[in-house]
Every structure is written in C-alpha cells, then in structure tokens.
Amino acid sequence: EIVMTQSPATLSVSPGERATLSCRASQSLSTNLAWYQQKPGQAPRLLIYGASTRATGIPARFSGRGSGTEFTLTISSLQSEDFAVYYCQQYNNWPPRFTFGPGTKVDIK
Amino acid sequence: QLQLQESGPGLVKPSETLSLTCTVSGGSISSSSYYWGWIRQPPGKGLEWIGSIYYTGSTYYNPSLKSRVTISVDTSKNQFSLNLSSVTAADTAVYYCAEVAGSFAYWGQGTLVTVSS
C-alpha cells in the first residue's frame, strides 16, 4: 500500500500571503497525484490532477509541482475563501488502490 | 454538468448492513472513460477510499474493507450502490460517491451514516 504523508498538519497564514503545502508518497507516483480542498460541511473539491494541471474553474493562484515522491501545492496569495483543509491523493496503482494524505489545515494567522 | 446524489438510511444498527445508492445525472454511467467510486470520512477525520466500479461491473476494493464491501451498478437506472456488512461504530462516517478518473472530479454532497443501536 502506498502511504501518503502531508506537512505541516496546520499552516497559519495571513490573507494575501503565500502558502506552500507538502505531500510525500512512500513510493514513486510519477505524476499521478491530485490535490483537493475541503471546507466544513462540504464535499472535497478537486484542485489539481496530474500533479500540476488545474481542474476546471480553479483560479491560477493554485499551482502544483512535483513528481516521484515529493509534491507541493502553492497558493500564491491567500484569499479568505482559501482557508480550508487540503488533501493530496495518489492514483498510481493498477488495479486501483487510491489513498489520501491526512490533510493540511490552512487557517488564518 | 455531471451531478451525483447519495441516498439511503442515516442510521444503521451494529452488525447490520449499510446500503447506499448513488444516482448520476447529467451524464451516462456507461461512459467508457470513467469509473465510479465510494469514499468515506469519519467525523473530524480524513478521507478513505472504499472501492470503485466500472460500468461493466468490474470492481476494486480497499483491501482493509474488502471482506465486507460490495459495490454494484445498475446502468438502466444510472445508479451504483454500496453495501457494507457487519458494521460497527467505526463505520460511522459521511459517505460520498464520486466519478473516478484517477482523481475524483465530481462528488456527491455526502450522506452521514451513523451506526448505533
């Protein structure tokens, strides 16, 4: 099983600042990694797939980088609506064995 | 725009079977491009993939749940379903259905299922 870790667990950021979230996989994923945003009481929302491709309708301030086992999600200038929990998810296995990271909570500093 | 909606009981007794259905609208569940899946989230915790199904009926399950999970598809109703047997309090969670293309682009709103007597 591929184990996903995320750091930090909580990130305190002021509006307008940059936030950088990390995700690490226990084995190489190539670029088979996605990022999600989840707000309280809502379903997760796909932000990034293929490690760096923004999903439909996702603002350009969200960007993803990485390959192999190390990935980052950067929010270039945090807006009030960006305070949420962010999860990474791998989809490298065949047959499918999807796993999520434990999440990073981005809160207001 | 693809939409998914979960339905089923919100309360299940311990040792019984949890049964949920996901109805897909705005697209065909028989699309050859995608799988369909279930994900759950215990209160205050993270996301766990339960399993996925292709419209032909091919299924893939989380090894940790495989002995208790059955996912099926009904293409005539554009629905797929989840059965989770022998539930305990640890199965209390919000259950989501989603379209699967590696990543999960479309999600249902989720339904809370509580396991309690």
Q: Rounded CA gap, B112 and B108, in Å?
A: 12
B102 contacts in chain A (CB < 8 Å): 32, 34, 49, 91
pLDDT digits (tens, 9 = 90+) for B15-71: 999 999 999 999 999 876 789 999 999 999 999 999 999 999 999 999 999 999 999
B48 contacts in chain A (CB < 8 Å): 100
What is the reported pLDDT for A55? 97
Distances (CA, A) of B99 to A29, A75, B32, B77: 21, 26, 12, 16
Q: Is residue A94 pLDDT above 90, yes or no? A: no
Q: pLDDT averaged over chain B? A: 95
Question: In this structure, are residues A71 and A23 in contact, taking their beta carbons and an 8 Å threshold?
Answer: yes
Q: Rounded CA gap, B79 and B20, in Å?
A: 10
- Least Cα distance to B59 among A100, A99, A96 occurs for A96
What is the reported pLDDT for A92? 87
- Closest CB from A98, A101, A103 relative to B49: A98
- Please give the torsion angle defined by the CA atoms of residues A40, A103, B91 and B86, in that order, rounded to the nearest 10 degrees: 150
- Least Cα distance to A9 among A108, A92, A109, A103 occurs for A103
Amino acid at the residue A71: F
- Least Cα distance to B103 among A65, A55, A23 occurs for A55
Pairing of strands A33-38, A10-13: unpaired
Close Cβ partners of B54 (under 8 Å, ≥ 6 residues apart): B35, B36, B73
Q: Which of A2, A6, A98, A100 to mutate to test the interface with B (most CBs of B within 10 A)?
A: A98
Q: Which of B60, B94, B103, B109 to mutate to test the interface with A (most CBs of A within 10 A)?
A: B103
What is the reported pLDDT for B67? 97
Half-sphere exposure of B106 (CA within 13 A, CB side): 18
**Phi, psi for residue B67 in degrees, rounded to 5:** -70, -15
